Amino acid sequence: MTTPARQPAEQQPAGPPRPAGRLVLAGAPLGRATDASTGLAQALATAPVIAAEDTRRLHRLAADLGVDVPGRVLSFFEGNEQARVPQLISALQDGQDVLVVTDAGMPSVSDPGYRLVAAAIEAGLVVTALPGPSAVTTAIAVSGLPVDRFCFEGFLPRKPGSRRRLLAELAGERRTMVFFESPHRIAESLADLAQALGPDRPAALCRELTKTYEQVVRGSLAELRDWAAGEVRGEITLVVAGQPAGSAQVEAAELAELVSVREQAGQGRKEAIAEVAATAGVAKRLVFDAVVAAKRGG
């Protein structure tokens, strides 16, 4: 008797592909936990994966908010950011939302996050944010300096030469400038700022914003330089006024005249521009533009 051939098992149709997760950048309080948004508290309580700059501070924040954190918490700081990116992208592609929380303020703004955001966008994934406090906008709001136009320059270079070159390029910046700086470098940076931008340039040094010992010191760069000669502690955001419009015209004329004097003495223009820029502590481009403007004006 012939045994009938076994019929192949019916193959179950595959279900729809699992939707990818979202990358959520969460603004964290600068100091007071009560400044946290309701959205951040809800996200901490529901996110499958949390990438935290400091896992201990994250759990402390959650405790202050009365929130349990059931999701998987991964450390995500400057030292391991690049190595973490593939793991977090994989979690997103697997359908899990990933919440990024740094110690304070918005991720990727002088904090970990940029590399992950770029990788997520390249992979076609959704990137969104939970708005929250920002040291940049908080400092400029209380500085008393013009806020209609401003630029954020982040942390100044650590090496004195690099820092001075950057500040020379910013000497003609008209917008209000915002910098982050560490307490042990603030005195040197203020001295370099006073040298590059002028000792009378108005500024505001904001220390420990929204925290118990919040302090805002306003004055000229020279006054702040002298004040910072003592011990300074805490997180610092520095706001510096841009160059006034009227003084820029005077300075441009002076720069062009200095170049003209050197040219009349037989020096080449390129060399003269470089020498004047170095002496005045400004970018060579500013000197070149001043020379061109002077010639156009006769």
Average pLDDT over residues 200-208: 95
**Cβ within 8 Å of residue 287, ≥6 positions away:** 255, 256, 259, 273, 276, 277, 280
The answer to whether residue 7 is domain-embedded is no
- Domain of 123: which CATH number? 3.40.1010.10
Residue 180: strand, helix, or coil: strand
Helix (H, G, I), strand (E, B) or coil at 105: strand
- 245 alpha-carbon distance from chain centroid: 26
- Indicate if 250 and 188 belong to the same structural domain: no
- Give the C-alpha separation, 95 to 20, whole Å: 4
pLDDT in the model for residue 13: 57
Owning domain of residue 85: 22-133
Structure tokens at 55: 């896992």
Q: What is the pLDDT of residue 281?
A: 64
**Shared domain check, 252 and 236:** no
Burial class (CB in 10 A: 0-12, 13-18, 19+), 104: buried
The predicted pLDDT at position 171 comes to 81
The residue that leads in pLDDT, 284 or 159, is: 159
Residue 42 has pLDDT above 70, yes or no: yes
Q: Is the pLDDT of residue 9 over 60?
A: no
CB 61 within 8 A of CB 29: yes
- State the pLDDT at residue 244: 80
Pick from 1-15, 87-101, 178-192, 277-291: least confident: 1-15
DSSP reduced 3-state for 208: coil
Are 276 and 255 spatial neighbours (Cβ–Cβ below 8 Å)? yes
Least confident of 28-37, 113-122, 250-259, 289-298: 250-259
Whether residue 17 lies inside any domain: the answer is no
Closest CA to 186 of 158, 162, 153: 158
DSSP three-state, residue 207: strand
Classify residue 119: in a domain, yes or no: yes
Contact 214, 253 (CB under 8 A): no
Residue 251 CA: distances (Å) to CA of 184, 247, 248, 280 = 33, 6, 5, 10
157 and 66 within one domain:
no
**Would 208 be classed as within a structural domain?**
yes
Rounded distance, CA 133 to CA 98, Å? 20
* CATH code (residue 193): 3.30.950.10
pLDDT at res. 197: 87
What is the pLDDT, as a whole number, of residue 6?
59
Q: Tokens representing 203? A: 């500024």
Using the 3D structure, point to which of 133, 164, 186 is the last residue of a domain: 133
| Residue whose C-alpha is closest to residue 135's, from 101, 115, 111, 163 | 111
At residue 217, does pLDDT exceed 90? yes
Residue 199 within a domain: yes
Q: Do 149 and 234 lie in a common domain?
A: yes
| Cα atoms in the 13 Å half-sphere on the side-chain side of 266 | 0
pLDDT of 250 > 90? The answer is no
- For 170-197, write each residue's pLDDT tens digit: 888 889 999 999 999 999 999 999 988 8
Residues 181 and 78 in one domain: no
Q: Is residue 15 part of a domain?
A: no
Per-residue pLDDT for 247 more than 80? no
Q: What is the pLDDT of residue 188?
A: 95
Calpha distance 211→196 (Å, rounded): 31
How far is the CA of 53 from the CAs of 103, 105, 178, in angstroms? 6, 12, 23
Q: Could you give the number of structural domains in the chain?
A: 3
Instruction: Give domain status of residue 239, yes or no.
Output: yes
In tens, the pLDDT along 106-158 reads 999 888 999 999 999 999 999 999 988 899 999 999 999 999 999 999 999 99
